[in-house]
Structure 1
Amino acid sequence: MDLYRIENGVKFKLTDDELKNVNQKKQEYEYQERIRPRTEHEGLLALAKLFLTEKITESEDKTLGIQCMALFEPWKRGIYSVGDVRTDPKTGYPYECITAHDSASNPDWTIENRTLWKPWHSRSADYALPWVQPTGAHDMYKDGEYMIWTDKKVYKCILDTNFSPTEYSQAWEAAA
């Protein structure tokens, strides 16, 4: 698996030394997590998070993950693998890691970086989240997904799109 760093908007493949450093940090973190004592509650919660994360990241429908977003840890600087899920510390909304990276040594690599993290979209109007401008095919709104637009109304995507209701109204309808 190739890892990348972004400098001034340009994506660079990590050198062997950088990759070795990332792997060492990840191994140290994983070791500390394994030896940390857990209560029964912590163990059950960790198991639930693992099961939920695997189930949701494999599915196109992220509604269950949005329903259970309180289970996910808030984002903080660290080493992330593809499929990791964290919540935005400002909004509490879930995001999925789409590019393995080490944000500890890259201050610009936050959860707001759309080349590293993608927002989840709900297939239920009841769990719609506020609009997030897509940056590509990986985070576009797909047919059947809902969002809350700036007018506070819920809209349903009826055509896969990277555009908002004001930019391309044909792709959206007001939710019933």
Structure 2
Amino acid sequence: MDIRDADTAELRRLKTMIDGELGRRQTLATAEKQATELNTAYLAASGVAQGDPWRQPTSAVDAYPLDWTVEHDGKSWVSLVAANVWMPGESGWREVVEDGGVPEYVAPTGAHDAYNTGDRVMFDDAEYVALQDGLVWSPAEYPAGWEKQA
């Protein structure tokens, strides 16, 4: 079909569909960034700062954004997901350690906090390195996915 052959009603219908699709794509392209900015601004306005002690969020609006850091149980943690409402050490967080340090293994609860190639963990008093992406099993449960360090 040549667009020049379409009548005015058909052109308006096509324009409405095109405008709707362009708006949908724009929303998908920008929503995550906008939500993170709004979430971060809300936390700041509420007096919550990076590195503060963890507190239980009450909803998505005061949840922790991706890469936010908190202190919990004497450790520093970084959020692995946007809108994180989980407690550090349970899901969605990774322990932050000093240069050269290795965090304790925390059992992932899904793909969002799985270990990836090169991740280092302490497990049963030994250091291990992940040999593949998406590891959700411990070195004991899936030894082929981990390399024990000397």
Q: Normalising by the residue count of structure 1, what TM-score does the alignment of the two structures yield?
A: 0.48
Q: Do the aligned residues in 2 keep the contact of 1:121 with 1:147 (CA within 8 Å)? A: no
> Residues 67-123 of structure 1, C-alpha deviation per residue, up to 9 Å, x if partnerless?
xxxxx222124513422523342141313062426x6xxxxx534552xx322578x
Count of residue correspondences? 106
Question: 1:155 aligned to 2:134?
Answer: no
- In structure 2, the residue matched to 1:93 is 76
Q: Do the aligned residues in 2 keep the contact of 1:158 with 1:171 (CA within 8 Å)? A: yes
- In structure 1, the residue matched to 2:54 is 75
- In structure 2, the residue matched to 1:9 is none
Unaligned runs of 5+ in 2: 1-30, 33-37
The one-letter code sitting in structure 1 at the alignment partner of 2:53 is: P
- In structure 2, the residue matched to 1:110 is 87
| SS, match of residue 144 in structure 2 | helix
Provide closer, same or farther for how the CA distance between residues 95 and 32 of structure 1 changes in structure 2, counting only shifts above 3 A.
Answer: closer
Q: Which runs of 4+ in 1 moved over 3 A?
A: 29-33, 109-113
Provide closer, same or farther for how the CA distance between residues 83 and 158 of structure 1 changes in structure 2, counting only shifts above 3 A.
Answer: same
Q: Do the aligned residues in 1 keep the contact of 2:104 with 2:122 (CA within 8 Å)? A: yes
Q: Normalising by the residue count of structure 2, what TM-score does the alignment of the two structures yield?
A: 0.54
Q: 1:140 aligns with which of 114, 135, 140?
A: 114
| SS, match of residue 79 in structure 2 | strand
Query: Once the two structures are aligned, what percentage of the paired residues are identical?
Result: 23
1:147 positional shift? 0.1
Superposition pairs of residues 1-176 of structure 1, within 5 angstroms: 27=42, 30-31=44-45, 33=47, 72-78=51-57, 79-96=62-79, 98-100=81-83, 110-112=87-89, 114=91, 117-120=92-95, 126-150=100-124, 152-160=125-133, 161-176=135-150
Q: Do the aligned residues in 1 keep the contact of 2:52 with 2:71 (CA within 8 Å)? A: no
Unaligned runs of 5+ in 1: 3-22, 34-45, 50-71, 104-108
| SS, match of residue 112 in structure 2 | helix
Tell which structure's C-alpha radius of gyration is larger.
Answer: 2
Q: CA RMSD in A?
A: 3.2
Provide closer, same or farther for how the CA distance between residues 84 and 121 of structure 1 changes in structure 2, counting only shifts above 3 A.
Answer: closer
The one-letter code sitting in structure 1 at the alignment partner of 2:87 is: T
